[in-house]
């Protein structure tokens, strides 16, 4: 059920999206819902980030993954155990751009029921890196629809992405990699018994959604006759805040667009916010200079302690008998 | 017949036939099985009374009724709301997990038990499922479809079982792409349980002792003086040297603080003796404190507030005695508290000076605010400056490996200092496999207040990864000693090593140091600090290490 429900949901949503091509529905699916989705995306993301930002960071608790800075002759591991903000920024950059922590991933195995071994396991790192980076590149490519003239970096990315020069129009390498990567992440979630055990509807839904978006996108570009000019007009009209719904856009496009709208709206309220959350993770983004620079807890409050005076009052006789110095005789 | 709290009760084959495949029933539908050997007994009301904690009463884990206070559900939910505001970690860690599973097989308790709720991700989901239902938009609308569930008494029991089946070792957090730290989840989880008066006695009694008497074991000042005196006698027997025992000495330059476990338990006592001998040889002006007679802090395993209450003594005492700076002994969780919490909680220590070695003149700038340094930083600096007269061949009968303790590794990053010291005092040092050391080190299985015998099955299971790595170097290099700079390790690894790698003994690093030191005025060193004959040094050629 945890798999079928999200699969059916994405399928159903796609079918609903097709309605956008029905006479008179273009305004809803082509204008109102996309705007709403963007508003929810931006508003929701701001809301979530504000929630995080408003929560205090009472203690500085980085997870240290390398040698600390201590004695001058011991080499510090600056990126896995940063001492300055700059070094912590470097650590974050590695984490966000290259998924540093996943790169450490291992797989434990118990051989012959006696030997525990740990093998490097890069499959998740590769799958995740491939999915996230191709997704970003695909987003950049889509800027072509929103800009006139198309900026150089977009055409550059397109050109690089279409390096294989196969097909008319050219097949982008990222499209394939993206679909394979998402399919792999789904396969991994289904085939690994532990992973399947912990997976929720909210873990399958985004994967199906991304697959739906990717596949419909591929069809739009390569297999279905699509009026690209009309779509670009629509996209440009969004950016001018003067939306014009063109006549000749196919149902498939509306299906694609509706799934994208769902993704945008769903994003801030789901696990997908990890995109923003990773920036604020206190175990990663703080420098491990605790003993050099005092961290202040904004909500610190006095606690009840057992004072030395109380302690000595209770134990004075024993202390004196043992020859331990006391404050008061 | 051995009982469930004895290692002999457990067959190796049984513990090694771990099945990592999850059960058929979903985790929310699988109830907790409080089986002897896998849980820790309930906190006694007298300890809660000392600490003035809520809901003081007799209760038992295996009884149906845990005597939760009136309105407990509201208390927990309000407690969560409060902490979501106070700890960004908590909120971020509730929101960002994508259940990628990278953490799953990183937990020693999961590896050793196969219980899916010991996968760090599920341990967090125990709390997250409640968070989702009561604190998120999707959870409020979609309920269980969004992975939410209702807070019930069974959930509380499950929290109790699994939050006291986590040693807060942070190994999972190394592998998490968002740095989600299960130690933080467990700490918050235990705080929430604490609001209902749910503690384990193995943690809350030491906290009460430490609060009242100054150390977890409840050793009173005269008792501590006696203990150190006995140690001095043994030192004299081993070395012919009579060491001073400065206690509560006003105006000393350095306050020395170490975990109280090393006052009583073998082999921790030898580490303690080593400190006394080292300081004597260096002639430094230091003092022990009876009031701050524990650097260890089981408050860390209780609540942030309890941690602060216990930790306060160190700076208070440093101020009262008028010392210049503080030196800390070999301890794991103590250093998590000292390094990541003390200054924030009880600082600023503006009445102290930046630590400066009286022997080498080195100023420890990296401790410029906290004013406390680690004995390994101190010793490494001494060796580097050639201030210790070392004869590592005295340790030649020792083939040593080094266990990075969780907290100094992952909450500090002190990796090279201890290794530098060991290499200089032992000629035979061998590393365990790389996935089991440094930041990837495995817990002893008994940290965070779980090192009690009633929890023996989980300790042995949790100790499997470490034990397995020790056995590996034992077989490959003939390793016969396991060095660790943590008092809990020195207590729990003994059991783990005896069980999984019999023949390997546990030692502190400072013990190795003084055994290799040529001391001023020493007699012929025929016996080490354990009063065992040193092979090749003993007069009648008797052999200490016949294993």
Mean of the pLDDT values across residues A134-142?
97
User: Which three-class secondary structure state does DSSP give residue B327?
Assistant: strand
What's the confidence (pLDDT) of residue B540? 53
CB distance B534 to B528 below 8 Å: yes
Domains of chain B, by residue range, sit at 7-205, 206-384, 392-516
* Angstrom distance (rounded) from CA A206 to CA A99: 20
Q: Each residue of A262-291: b (16+ CB within 10 Å) or e?
A: bbbbbbbbbbbbbebbbebbbbbbbbbbbb
Size of chain A, expressed as the number of residues it contains: 329
B341 vs A: CB within 8 A: yes
* Angstrom distance (rounded) from CA A219 to CA B7: 63
- Residues 22-51 in B contacting A (C-alpha not used; CB under 8 Å): 22, 26-27
B86 vs A: CB within 8 A: yes
Element (H, E) at B514: helix B509-516
DSSP class of residue B287?
E
Element (H, E) at B255: strand B254-257
**What are the residues whose beta carbons fall under 8 Å from the beta carbon of B5, sequence distance 6 or more?**
B37, B453, B454, B456
What's the confidence (pLDDT) of residue A168? 81
* Angstrom distance (rounded) from CA B197 to CA B46: 12
Q: What is the CATH number of the domain that holds A222?
A: 1.20.950.20
* Angstrom distance (rounded) from CA B487 to CA B405: 10
A329 confidence band (pLDDT: 50, 70, 90): confident
- Residues 284-323 in B contacting A (C-alpha not used; CB under 8 Å): 290-291, 304-305, 308-309, 312-313, 316-317, 320
Q: Report the chain B residue with the minimal C-alpha distance to residue A280.
A: B92
Q: Report the chain B residue with the minimal C-alpha distance to residue A288.
A: B412
What's the confidence (pLDDT) of residue B539? 60
Q: Provide the shortest C-alpha distance from residue A223 to chain B (in Å).
A: 33
- Cross-chain CB nearest to B87 (options A55, A71, A296): A55
What's the confidence (pLDDT) of residue A84? 98
Contacts 24+ apart (CB under 8 A), A32-36: A33/A258, A33/A261, A34/A238, A34/A257, A34/A260, A34/A261, A35/A238, A35/A243, A36/A261, A36/A265
B416 vs A: CB within 8 A: yes
Q: Is residue A317 part of a domain?
A: no
DSSP class of residue A67?
P
* Angstrom distance (rounded) from CA B517 to CA B528: 11
pLDDT tens string A48-100: 999 999 999 999 999 999 999 999 999 999 999 999 999 999 999 999 999 99
Q: Report the chain B residue with the minimal C-alpha distance to residue A325.
A: B248
* Angstrom distance (rounded) from CA B143 to CA A328: 63
CA dihedral B274, B280, B281, B286 (to 10 degrees): 100
What's the confidence (pLDDT) of residue B544? 45
Q: Using an 8 Å CB-CB cutoff, list chain A residues near B318.
A: none
pLDDT tens string A242-284: 999 998 889 999 999 999 999 999 999 999 999 999 999 999 9
Q: Using an 8 Å CB-CB cutoff, list chain B residues near A115.
A: 468, 472
What's the confidence (pLDDT) of residue B157? 98
Residue B92 backbone dihedrals phi, psi, to 5 degrees:
-60, -45
- Cross-chain CB nearest to A73 (options B101, B222, B384): B384
- Residues 446-505 in B contacting A (C-alpha not used; CB under 8 Å): 464-465, 468-469, 472
Q: What is the largest CA-CA distance in chain B?
A: 81
- pTM given for the model: 0.96
Q: Using an 8 Å CB-CB cutoff, list chain B residues near A69.
A: 366
* Angstrom distance (rounded) from CA B328 to CA B271: 13
CB distance A289 to B366 below 8 Å: yes
> Other C-beta atoms within 10 Å of B308: how many?
23
* Angstrom distance (rounded) from CA B474 to CA B243: 36
Q: Is residue A274 part of a domain?
A: yes
CATH class of domain segment(s) B392-516? alpha beta
What's the confidence (pLDDT) of residue B538? 64
- Residues 111-140 in A contacting B (C-alpha not used; CB under 8 Å): 113-116, 118, 124, 128
Q: Do B92 and A282 touch (CB under 8 A)?
A: yes
CB distance A226 to A173 below 8 Å: no
* Angstrom distance (rounded) from CA B242 to CA B231: 10
What's the confidence (pLDDT) of residue B513? 98
Q: Using an 8 Å CB-CB cutoff, list chain A residues near B304.
A: 58-59
Q: Do A58 and B304 touch (CB under 8 A)?
A: yes
B332 vs A: CB within 8 A: no
What's the confidence (pLDDT) of residue B543? 47
Q: Provide the shortest C-alpha distance from residue B407 to chain A (in Å).
A: 9
DSSP class of residue B369?
T
Give ∠ CA B64-B302-B211 in degrees, rounded to 5.
115
Interface test with B, best of A182, A308, A312 (most B CBs within 10 A): A308
A192 vs B: CB within 8 A: yes
- Please give the interface size between A and B, counted as residue pairs whose CB atoms are below 8 Å apart: 314
CB distance A208 to A8 below 8 Å: no
* Angstrom distance (rounded) from CA A110 to CA B17: 9
CA dihedral A161, A163, A164, A168 (to 10 degrees): 70
Q: Do B18 and A110 touch (CB under 8 A)?
A: yes
Q: Using an 8 Å CB-CB cutoff, list chain A residues near B409.
A: 64
Please report, for residues B179, B238, B490, B515, B540, the alpha-carbon distance to residue B526 in angstroms, rounded to integers and kept in the order given. 50, 8, 24, 11, 10
Residue ranges of chain B whose pLDDT lies below 50: 541-547
**What are the residues whose beta carbons fall under 8 Å from the beta carbon of A253, sequence distance 6 or more?**
A20, A21, A220, A226, A231
A165 confidence band (pLDDT: 50, 70, 90): confident
Of A293, A308, A60, the C-alpha closest to B337 is A60
Q: Do A303 and B305 touch (CB under 8 A)?
A: yes
- Cross-chain CB nearest to B99 (options A64, A203, A296): A203
A164 confidence band (pLDDT: 50, 70, 90): confident
Q: Domain range for residue A255?
A: 4-304
Q: Tell how strand A115-120 and strand A106-111 pair up.
A: antiparallel
* Angstrom distance (rounded) from CA B520 to CA B374: 25
**What are the residues whose beta carbons fall under 8 Å from the beta carbon of A9, sequence distance 6 or more?**
A205, A208
Of B117, B122, B118, the C-alpha closest to B107 is B118
* Angstrom distance (rounded) from CA B9 to CA B499: 11
- Cross-chain CB nearest to A198 (options B125, B290, B435): B125
Q: Using an 8 Å CB-CB cutoff, list chain A residues near B211.
A: 305-306
* Angstrom distance (rounded) from CA A235 to CA A43: 21
* Angstrom distance (rounded) from CA B331 to CA B374: 9
pLDDT tens string A173-231: 999 999 999 999 999 999 999 999 999 999 999 999 999 999 999 999 999 888 999 99
A184 vs B: CB within 8 A: no
Residue B256 β-bridge partners: B327
**What are the residues whose beta carbons fall under 8 Å from the beta carbon of B436, sequence distance 6 or more?**
A118, B442, B465, B466, B469
Q: Is residue A327 part of a domain?
A: no
Q: Do A281 and B178 touch (CB under 8 A)?
A: yes
Q: What is the tally of structural domains in chain A?
A: 1
Residue A119 β-bridge partners: A107
Q: Provide the shortest C-alpha distance from residue B73 to chain A (in Å).
A: 23
Of B305, B297, B367, B289, the C-alpha closest to B334 is B297
Q: Using an 8 Å CB-CB cutoff, list chain A residues near B222.
A: 318-319, 321-322, 324
Q: Using an 8 Å CB-CB cutoff, list chain A residues near B368.
A: 291-292
* Angstrom distance (rounded) from CA B447 to CA A108: 22
Q: Using an 8 Å CB-CB cutoff, list chain A residues near B86.
A: 55-56, 58, 299
- Cross-chain CB nearest to A52 (options B88, B344, B370): B88
- Cross-chain CB nearest to B411 (options A61, A195, A300): A61
Q: Is residue A110 part of a domain?
A: yes
> Other C-beta atoms within 10 Å of B238: how many?
24
């Amino acid at each position: 059920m945890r798999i079928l429900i999200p699969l059916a949901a994405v399928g159903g949503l796609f079918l609903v999206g097709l309605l956008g091509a029905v006479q008179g529905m273009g305004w809803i699916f082509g204008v109102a819902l996309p705007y709403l989705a963007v508003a929810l995306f931006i508003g929701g993301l701001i809301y979530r980030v504000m929630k995080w930002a408003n929560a205090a960071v009472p203690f500085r608790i980085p997870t240290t993954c390398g040698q600390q800075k201590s004695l001058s002759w011991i080499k510090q591991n600056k990126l896995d155990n940063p001492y300055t903000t700059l070094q912590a920024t470097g650590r974050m950059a590695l984490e966000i751009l290259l998924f540093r922590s996943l790169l450490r991933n291992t797989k434990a195995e118990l051989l012959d029921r006696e030997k525990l071994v740990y093998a490097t396991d890069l499959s998740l790192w590769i799958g995740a890196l491939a999915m996230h980076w191709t997704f970003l590149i695909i987003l950049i490519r889509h800027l072509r629809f929103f800009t006139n003239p198309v900026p150089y970096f977009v055409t550059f990315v397109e050109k690089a992405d279409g390096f294989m020069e196969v097909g008319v129009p050219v097949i982008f390498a990222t499209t394939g990699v993206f679909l394979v990567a998402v399919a792999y992440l789904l396969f991994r979630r289904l085939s690994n018994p532990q992973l399947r055990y912990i997976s929720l509807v909210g873990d399958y839904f985004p994967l199906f959604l991304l697959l739906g978006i990717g596949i419909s996108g591929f069809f739009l570009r390569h297999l279905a006759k699509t009026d690209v000019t009309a779509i670009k007009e629509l996209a440009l009209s969004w950016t001018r805040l003067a939306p014009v719904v063109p006549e000749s856009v196919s149902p498939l496009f509306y299906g694609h667009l509706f799934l994208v709208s769902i993704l945008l709206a769903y994003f801030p309220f789901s696990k997908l916010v990890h995109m923003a959350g990773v920036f604020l993770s206190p175990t990663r983004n703080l420098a491990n200079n605790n003993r050099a620079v005092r961290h202040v807890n904004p909500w610190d409050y006095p606690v009840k302690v057992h004072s030395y005076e109380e302690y000595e009052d209770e134990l004075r006789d024993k202390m004196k008998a043992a020859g331990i110095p006391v404050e008061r005789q | 017949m051995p009982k469930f709290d004895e290692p002999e009760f457990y067959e190796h084959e049984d513990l090694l036939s771990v099945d990592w495949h999850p059960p058929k029933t979903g985790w929310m539908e699988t109830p907790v099985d409080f089986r002897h050997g896998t849980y820790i007994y309930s906190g006694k009301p007298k300890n809660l009374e000392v600490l003035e904690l809520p809901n003081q009463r007799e209760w038992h884990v295996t009884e149906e009724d845990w005597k939760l206070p009136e309105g407990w559900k509201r208390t927990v939910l309000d407690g969560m709301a409060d902490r979501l505001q106070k700890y960004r970690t908590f909120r971020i860690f509730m929101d960002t997990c994508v259940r990628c599973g990278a953490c799953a097989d990183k937990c020693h308790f999961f590896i050793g038990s196969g219980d899916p709720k010991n996968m760090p991700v599920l341990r967090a989901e125990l709390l997250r499922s409640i968070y989702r239902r009561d604190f998120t938009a999707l959870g409020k609308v979609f309920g269980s479809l969004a992975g939410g569930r209702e807070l019930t008494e069974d959930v509380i029991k499950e929290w109790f079982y699994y939050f006291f089946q986590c040693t807060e070792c942070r190994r999972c957090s190394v592998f998490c792409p968002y740095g989600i730290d299960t130690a933080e989840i467990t700490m918050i989880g235990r705080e929430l349980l604490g609001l209902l008066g749910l503690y384990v006695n193995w943690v809350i009694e030491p906290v009460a002792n430490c609060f009242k008497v100054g150390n977890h074991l409840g050793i009173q000042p005269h008792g501590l003086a006696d203990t150190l005196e006995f140690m001095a006698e043994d030192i004299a027997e081993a070395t012919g040297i009579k060491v001073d025992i400065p206690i509560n000495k006003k105006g000393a330059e350095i306050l020395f603080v170490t975990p109280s476990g090393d006052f009583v338990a073998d082999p921790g006592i030898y580490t303690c003796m080593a400190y006394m001998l080292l300081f004597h040889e260096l002639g430094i002006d230091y003092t022990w404190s009876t009031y701050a007679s524990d650097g260890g802090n089981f408050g860390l395993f209780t609540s942030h507030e309890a941690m602060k209450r216990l930790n306060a003594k160190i700076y208070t005492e440093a101020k009262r005695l008028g010392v210049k700076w503080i030196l800390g002994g070999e301890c794991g969780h103590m250093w998590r508290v000292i390094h990541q919490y003390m200054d924030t909680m009880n600082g600023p220590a503006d009445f102290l000076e930046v630590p400066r070695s009286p022997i080498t003149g080195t100023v420890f700038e990296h401790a410029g605010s906290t004013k406390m340094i680690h004995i390994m930083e101190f010793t490494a600096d001494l060796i580097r400056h050639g201030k210790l007269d070392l004869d590592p061949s005295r340790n030649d009968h020792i083939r040593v490996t080094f266990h990075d303790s969780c907290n100094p590794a992952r909450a500090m990053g002190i990796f090279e200092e201890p290794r530098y010291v060991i290499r200089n005092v032992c000629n035979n040092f061998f590393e365990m496999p790389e996935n089991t050391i440094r930041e990837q080190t495995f817990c002893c299985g008994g940290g965070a207040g779980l090192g009690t015998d009633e929890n023996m099955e989980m300790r042995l299971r949790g100790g499997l990864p470490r034990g397995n790595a020790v056995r590996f170097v034992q077989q490959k290099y003939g390793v016969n000693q396991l060095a660790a700079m943590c008092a809990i390790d020195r207590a729990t690894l003994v059991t783990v090593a005896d069980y999984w790698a019999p023949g390997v003994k546990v030692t502190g690093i400072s013990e190795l140091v003084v055994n290799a030191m040529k001391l001023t005025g020493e007699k012929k060193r025929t016996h080490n600090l354990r009063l065992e004959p040193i092979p090749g040094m003993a007069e009648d050629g008797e052999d200490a290490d016949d294993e």
